[in-house]
Amino acid sequence: MQDTVDALEYVRQLFAAGCIQSGFFHPLCLYRAFPGRPASARYGITLKPLPAVSFAKNDVGFVDPTGVDHAALGIALNKALYNYMHGLGLDQDVRSWFAGRVPRTQCRGTSSPAPSTEGLSPHR
């Protein structure tokens, strides 16, 4: 959850600074051919059994023991990005896009500098 909030804050700063005009967050997923699948236990996730082999069954289901609702995170990220692409919501706390309690982002606050365009040449 913290990584997601921090990532959205980073993207918000890029939009606010005029560095990007669009974006996309890809949902977390594992694929059959993913070489890190055996290491998935290191990340605390449990893989679901693979379905019977058939055409285009590449995604591997998993259980996240943290209880994070990845689908709900995707909805919040898509809503935030849609608004950012229209110049809306760039001044609000990124946590407001998520339903329920979310951690305070590590990227924003009194100890973090405001986004700067110094030395940047936004592509328009």
Ordered mean pLDDT values, 10 residues apiece, the chain (124 residues): 90 96 84 60 75 71 82 92 97 89 56 45 43
Q: Could you give the CA distance from residue 88 to residue 115 in angstroms, rounded to a whole number?
A: 16
Q: What is the reported pLDDT for 33?
A: 63
- The Cα–Cα gap between 50 and 52 comes to 7
Q: What is the pTM of this model?
A: 0.68
Angle at 106 between CA 100 and CA 107, to 5 degrees: 110
pLDDT of residue 71: 85
pLDDT for the residue 88: 97
pLDDT at 36: 55
Pairing assessment for the beta strands 62-63 and 46-47 based on DSSP bridges: antiparallel
Q: Is 47 helix (H, G, I), strand (E, B) or coil?
A: strand
